[in-house]
Amino acid sequence: MNNPIDKFKTWWQEALAESPLQQKSAVCVSTIDEQGFPTGRFVDLKSVGENGFVFCTCFDSAKGRQIERNAKTAITAWWDHSGYQVRIVGTSELITAGEADQFWAARNKSAQLTTTAFEQSEPTASEAELAARLEDASAKFAEQDIPRPDNWGGYCVKPISIEFLTFRESRLHLRELFVYKENGWVKQLLQP
Ligand SMILES: Cc1cc2nc3c(=O)[nH]c(=O)nc-3n(C[C@H](O)[C@H](O)[C@H](O)COP(=O)(O)O)c2cc1C
């Protein structure tokens, strides 16, 4: 397959279909902090298309602020049951408010409440404070739909390179690197 986006979709579908995981779409997103250190954390991969790889989060979170300063982003996935690793490098761009609304509507109320109740990545004094904040939000929105907060939305990581590794017990892993050049994707095999 010469288009890495199509290849990713095929692998992702396969990984999802056979996944023993509870959080089947978790991928590691790495951003660059103020000191230039890479920082990684798992998020849910929401969708994949020709534009790139979409995840949702709070813009005021540590990762959101890091992306504001430096849009260079990596996504890494490992699906143990399939033996697939994927490494994506690219730049994050905001998805539209309309797209964010759709992802927000697809979340369950509990996830919406948590997002609304908290300021992601900010310090907290105690777990009791967290419980109180959640209770307040639950009471406020008991009878009404929860609107998408202005600071919640999505980023689309537009890829410049995607590497697919097929794990082999022999350690003779197959590594297929796709790099985006002027005329499209160029594929190169790498030594394991
Ligand atoms: C399986 C899993 C899925 C997660 N999905 C998301 C997600 O989609 N969006 C998000 O903002 N945080 C998600 N989190 C929480 C993040 O890992 C992280 O703790 C949070 O986004 C704050 O990161 P930051 O302080 O680096 O911004 C998830 C955590 C796990 C373990």
Convert the pLDDT of each residue in 89-105 to its tens digit. Answer: 999 999 999 999 999 99
User: Which residues belong to the annotated binding site?
Assistant: 41-46, 63, 85, 120-121, 175
Domain boundaries, the chain: 4-190
Looking at residue 123, what is its pLDDT?
Answer: 97
Residue 1 reports pLDDT greater than 80: no
Looking at residue 2, what is its pLDDT?
Answer: 87
Mutate-to-test residue for ligand 1 from 44, 58, 119, 156, highest number of ligand atoms within 8 A of CB: 44
Looking at residue 23, what is its pLDDT?
Answer: 96
Q: What is the DSSP string of 77-131?
A: EEETTTTEEEEEEEEEEEPPHHHHHHHHHHS-HHHHHHHHH--TT---S-HHHHH
Tell me 54's DSSP state. Answer: E
Q: What is the mean pLDDT of residues 1-19?
A: 95
For ligand 1, whether the C-beta of 42 sits within 6 Å is yes
At the second CATH level, the architecture of 4-190 is Roll (2.30)
Convert the pLDDT of each residue in 118-162 to its tens digit. Answer: 999 999 999 999 999 999 999 999 999 999 999 999 999 999 999
